[in-house]
Structure 1
Amino acid sequence: MNRQVAVTGIGVVAPGGIGRKPYWEQLTSGRTATRAISFFDASPFRSRIAAEVDFDPAAAGLSPREVRRMDRAAQFAVVSARESLADSGLDVADLDPHRIGVSIGSAVGGTTSLEREYLALSDSGRQWELDLSYLSPHLYDAFTPSSLAREVAGVIGAEGPAAVVSTGCTSGIDSLGHARDLIAEGSADVVLAGGTDTPISPIAVACFDAIKATSPSNDDPAHASRPFDRERNGFVLAEGAAVLVLEELGHARARDAHVYALVSGYATRCNAYHMTGLTPHGREMAEAIRHALAESGTDPAAVDYVNAHGSGTKQNDRHETAAFKATLGERARSVPVSSIKSMIGHSLGAIGSLEIAAWALAMEYGVVPPTANLDTPDPECDLDYVPHEARETRVDRVLSVGSGFGGFQSAMVLTRDTGARLPTA
């Protein structure tokens, strides 16, 4: 069995905009959401900037009990899932709960709650012997990443396959790939899938500081994330979430659902090379791209847009530029390529899903978001990276890629549903 898989709902919590419409406006405006860290005193760190989400749990519809129980990453996922479900128009009462699945990606899970609780139990690290009387009864949920899938399952009453995918910075795209496979093989008809991460915490900032992966451009945070620019000096840490409703195409058409796009191809590879390093020739990413394109039946020359991983590190930008040239041939020189990390930073396990949400919307509205802050292109990165301003163009076939610590390289292809009805708004 090989069933087609449609995107029928989108929900987003992102820096600069909560909800898919504010998110899309943020991206197409070319505005950056990166700023000085406000969540804690970041003065001891090398990199003191991030893309934070201005998130009010109560305003987002969460009850006091939900806020007390759930880590910030889980809150983001639930709010995104609720918006996505509403956007899809699915009536839960009409669904068989055993045919509904959940697939959530996350790189660092409940880091926010774990660090907060450790600081409380240890009196900010001053006590070696921890007083467990201060322990939160919900700490176990933060410690166990599977709680993320459980919370999203509760949004729709899903009793089918449920999983948390954790493959570093490709978690968000890999969770969607897993969901696609569940539907294609017949294990589910509907899957709420996406990624969530809230890593803006002292421990995460310290870890990336140690390997000098994040940008130290603290005096100009709005322009710190500079993918493909000669002056780039690392990525900007971020938080966020996106959850999409993936649905078997026949199931979606039977209820006259609006189809944003089809998830027509997916592949993932590991370079088995280095925990954080990348080979310059981009062979592993190229292999994932080739398989994703072949699975979708998309000729490389027919790709209309490429969503780059575009983290703003020199080795990554050069690595994927080489991979695009190796797989797309002459089309690599003319196809629009851009990175939204230039505007919303790098939210680790969430970013892949945020990117897929963006490209489903790009297909919807015929607009390609830009790469912000690309002032002086790196001579080794010589493709059309759509600098500064969004570009109007019809998009029928999107290639999206991700690259993650551990050597993970993933690629996904979205294509237009030729039988889809036109958007109403």
Structure 2
Amino acid sequence: MKKRRVVITGLGVVAPNGIGKDEFWNALINGKSGVDLIMSFDTSELSSKIAAQSIDFDPLNYMDKKLARKVDRFVHLGLAASRMALDDSSLNLEKENRDRIGIIVGSVFGGVLFHESQIIARCQGKLNRVDPLTVPKVTSNSVTSHIAMTYGITGLNLVVSNACASGANAIGQAFSFIQNNEADIIFAGGVEAPISPITFASFCNLQLLSRGNSSPQTACRPYDKERDGFVLGEGGSVLIVEELTHAIKRNAYVYAEIAGYATNCGSYHMILPEPGGIENGKVMKAAIDDAEMQPQDIDYISAYGNATQLYDKAETQSIKRVFNEAAYNIPVSSIKSMIGHAVGASGALEAVSCILALENNVIPPTINYSSPDPDCDLDYVPNKARKARLNSVLLNSCGVGNNNASLIFSRFIDKRSAN
């Protein structure tokens, strides 16, 4: 059976440097950072005191007070992003078979903010004060369930949780389900709200976070020789992923086509990247193969680029494994330099960046790049956005436990005769 073509028809995003696709994109191409000092809890005992937070986000712009009180911040982000994506897609759900609409969201920590508040209550000897709604508030599927209940969606409903590749895998799984005629439309993306005391302290004590506290906006320095770790971030992104014929019939605007997807696991270590980037290279090549392309067809790589010494080096090696000498001619950038590392939401936020890069023929930069590293010697689009004709872009996502995912987004070409 011939696989169906899959396109993107709606974008919703809440990021530390912009809310909504237009504000987010303008921030990216202008190199605007969303990193600042943490004010929500005491960081005096920690080596890192900064995070990429969506400070201007107000959940009451997207839901009523009663619902906002019932759910954790990560659900706030998911509901807001899904509403933006739905509005952007011009979908009329009243005309759709909601059994054929699904939801797939990536999240690692779920309702960790609320969960930690209840742990603190327990530590204070107030077990009888633990909120009875703790379980439904903290479960990762609360975000997909609330999106479903908001819109009466009765199709597949899944949470993907495999570290920093979660968001990319959620979109990839949506692609696969629609390709194989198991859904026509899927709300797909990632959400994360991990800026909480215990979670932040754990990342900090693992020595994964940047200590650039004196200059928060320049702290995250992917591929730079002086990089000292990532900045933990939060955010949410939801895409409307749709079968092409369905989109054409309703005269939808098509942002891009998902051309390929692959996922694997390096099986090496829970924290450290696999040396040499062998398995990460394999997953990029597998996504290119899935798209029935060649490496030379890729015009831009949206990299994982988390600004740690080991991961940036390993990713650079994996890119060279796939593209060989041509790797030096392909622009590679990491928007984590601007939005921090939102863990399970990162791949979904980066997917929006890829799609808007295709639409605008502009590559967002890697900001804060000043000292070249001999081990990271590719073209990282330093500090300024770059105009370029883009037809196909590769999104690379990695994560703890060596989980990897790659997506290929292509400029949409209407080949109706091929359907």
The interval holding the TM-score normalised by the smaller chain is: over 0.9
Letter in 2 for 1:174: N
1:227 and 2:222 matched: yes
Query: SS in structure 1 opposite 2:276?
Result: coil
Deviation of 1:375 (Å): 0.5
- Report the more deviating stretch, 40-49 or 147-156: 147-156
Q: Deviations over 1:213-264 (max 9, x none)?
A: 1111111111110000000000000000000000001111111111111111
Q: Could you state the TM-score of these two structures normalised by the residue count of structure 2?
A: 0.97
Correspondence for 2:363: 368
Aligned residues: 415
- Report the more deviating stretch, 367-376 or 211-220: 211-220
Alpha-carbon distance in 2 for matches of 1:373, 1:56: 25
Query: SS in structure 2 opposite 1:76?
Result: helix
Query: SS in structure 1 opposite 2:301?
Result: strand
Conservation of the 8 A alpha-carbon contact between 1:397 and 1:416? yes
Correspondence for 2:147: 152
Correspondence for 1:14: 15
Correspondence for 2:411: 416
Deviation of 1:279 (Å): 2.5
- Report the more deviating stretch, 406-415 or 141-150: 141-150
Query: SS in structure 2 opposite 1:173?
Result: helix
Alpha-carbon distance in 2 for matches of 1:396, 1:81: 27
Deviation of 1:61 (Å): 2.3
Alpha-carbon distance in 2 for matches of 1:20, 1:135: 38
1:394 and 2:389 matched: yes
Query: SS in structure 1 opposite 2:390?
Result: coil
Correspondence for 2:212: 217
Correspondence for 1:101: 102
Alpha-carbon distance in 2 for matches of 1:145, 1:205: 18
The within-5 A match list for 1:170-249 is 170-249=165-244
Deviation of 1:75 (Å): 0.6
Deviation of 1:107 (Å): 0.9
Alpha-carbon distance in 2 for matches of 1:183, 1:156: 20
Alpha-carbon distance in 2 for matches of 1:359, 1:155: 28
Deviation of 1:126 (Å): 3.1
Alpha-carbon distance in 2 for matches of 1:118, 1:277: 29
Correspondence for 1:423: none
Query: SS in structure 1 opposite 2:170?
Result: helix
Correspondence for 2:380: 385
Correspondence for 1:88: 89
Runs of 4+ in 1 over 6 A off after TM superposition: none
Of 243, 260, 265, the residue aligned with 1:265 is 260
Deviation of 1:74 (Å): 0.5
Unpaired stretches in structure 1, ≥5 consecutive residues = 421-425
Letter in 2 for 1:131: L
- Report the more deviating stretch, 139-148 or 6-15: 139-148
Correspondence for 2:245: 250
Conservation of the 8 A alpha-carbon contact between 1:81 and 1:155? no
Query: SS in structure 2 opposite 1:359?
Result: helix
Correspondence for 1:71: 72
Of 326, 332, 357, the residue aligned with 1:337 is 332
Conservation of the 8 A alpha-carbon contact between 1:45 and 1:205? no
1:349 and 2:347 matched: no
Deviation of 1:373 (Å): 0.2
Q: Deviations over 1:178-212 (max 9, x none)?
A: 11111111110000000000000111111112210
Letter in 2 for 1:24: W
Correspondence for 1:305: 300
Correspondence for 2:30: 29
Alpha-carbon distance in 2 for matches of 1:54, 1:91: 31
Query: SS in structure 1 opposite 2:372?
Result: coil
Query: SS in structure 2 opposite 1:343?
Result: helix
* Paired-residue identity, %: 39
Deviation of 1:143 (Å): 2.8
Deviation of 1:59 (Å): 4.7
Correspondence for 2:283: 288
Q: Deviations over 1:256-300 (max 9, x none)?
A: 111111111111111111111123311010110111000101211
Deviation of 1:350 (Å): 0.3
Deviation of 1:142 (Å): 2.4
Query: SS in structure 1 opposite 2:103?
Result: strand
Conservation of the 8 A alpha-carbon contact between 2:107 and 2:167? yes
**CA RMSD of the aligned region, Å?**
1.4
Conservation of the 8 A alpha-carbon contact between 2:17 and 2:54? yes
Conservation of the 8 A alpha-carbon contact between 2:78 and 2:191? yes
Q: Could you state the TM-score of these two structures normalised by the residue count of structure 1?
A: 0.95
Query: SS in structure 2 opposite 1:42?
Result: coil
Alpha-carbon distance in 2 for matches of 1:4, 1:50: 39
Conservation of the 8 A alpha-carbon contact between 2:79 and 2:147? yes
Correspondence for 1:131: 127
Correspondence for 1:320: 315
Deviation of 1:10 (Å): 0.3
Conservation of the 8 A alpha-carbon contact between 1:71 and 1:112? yes
Deviation of 1:56 (Å): 4.3
Alpha-carbon distance in 2 for matches of 1:148, 1:20: 21
Alpha-carbon distance in 1 for matches of 2:48, 2:244: 45
Letter in 1 for 2:396: V
Of 272, 277, 286, the residue aligned with 1:277 is 272
Conservation of the 8 A alpha-carbon contact between 1:82 and 1:155? no
Deviation of 1:58 (Å): 4.8
The within-5 A match list for 1:32-51 is 32-51=33-52
- Report the more deviating stretch, 238-247 or 63-72: 63-72
Of 140, 156, 180, the residue aligned with 2:135 is 140
Letter in 1 for 2:320: K
Aligned CA distance change for structure 1 residues 381 and 108 (closer, same or farther; 3 Å): same
1:161 and 2:156 matched: yes
Deviation of 1:26 (Å): 0.8
